[in-house]
A and B are shown apart, each in its own frame.
Chain A
Amino acid sequence: MDVITFHYTISPDDFTRAGEASSDVKSKLKKMGVTPEAVRKVAIAMYEGEINMVIHAKGGEITVHISTERIEMVLEDVGPGIPDIDLAMQAGYSTAPDAVRSLGFGAGMGLPNMKKYSDEMEIHTVIGEGTTIRMVVNL
């Protein structure tokens, strides 16, 4: 079965532009006729991940695979890695500095939201190298 793939490079330098990839995916899925429910799940999960790549890591790459059954997002960053994934997954846990908090992020809700809005989620992380998060939303 056909799979359409979209690829994005996430720049770490410009917080203002963080979310542009998620925004692009959202409008593409909408045009493709994906259900509003699934579009919203993908948009929220990917946006949280994209923001994390900018505020906690040094950017990276996002690849989105779309088939008739599922949408798979792979977010691969160059960053410090996550030392304790179980802790990071807890609602309210955040290491975000005040500068990030004043921008409206750092509630420690991003990873829990990604889990909540995706049907499958896997985190692979290597300290000092980076984190890869794979999420799937079933159609």
Chain B
Amino acid sequence: MTVEDIRKILGAKVLVGEEHLSEEVKSACGSDMMSDVLAYSKDHSVLLTGLCNPQVVRTAEMLDIVCIVFVRGKKPDEAMLQMAAERGIILLSTGHRMFSACGMLYEAGLHGGAI
């Protein structure tokens, strides 16, 4: 699916990267612990997280993650928005909780990929 599909499914707001919404996403990972995320390295993936600090963007950068979805309506600050924009990372924000957001995407066919 594309990031635009994810945006629609989660009713998410685009915070950064409006111009990249057609990018393809093949797998997803949801966690608030960045080293758990770093253990997971798949191409074209999206990260769902309730954590909201610059290291989330940094982690996404290291893994070439296409898009970060902040759950529970978390709003990154200006510095984070700028970091993401510079790196071409899309930021979305949804009011859904982690479990529901992951479930909605899973149901729509986006899986975590084999371990």
Contact = CB atoms under 8 A, between A and B. Distances in A.
| A-B interaction | yes
B20 to A, nearest CB: 18
Contacts of B63: 40, 44
Interface in B37-78: 38-39, 41, 49, 51, 53-56, 58-59, 61-64
Contacts, number: 69
A104 B32 contact: yes
Contacts of A106: 33
A116 interface: yes
Interface in B61-100: 61-64, 79
Contacts of B54: 16
A103 B50 CA distance: 11
Interface size class of B (residues with CB under 8 A): 20 to 34
A116 B56 contact: no
Contacts of B39: 109, 112-113, 116
B36 interface: yes
A104 B34 contact: yes
A107 B55 CA distance: 15
Interface residues of A, number: 26
Nearest to A50: B58
B72 to A, nearest CB: 15
Interface in A28-67: 36, 40, 43-44, 47-48, 51
A47 B63 CA distance: 11
Contacts of A103: 51, 53, 55
B35 A105 contact: yes
Nearest to A43: B62
Contact of A105 (B33, B49, B64, B79): B33
A90 interface: no
Interface in A46-99: 47-48, 51
Contact of B38 (A26, A47, A108): A47
Interface of B: 32-36, 38-39, 41, 49, 51, 53-56, 58-59, 61-64, 79
9 contacts: A19-B62, A23-B61, A40-B63, A44-B63, A104-B32, A104-B56, A105-B35, A109-B35, A117-B41
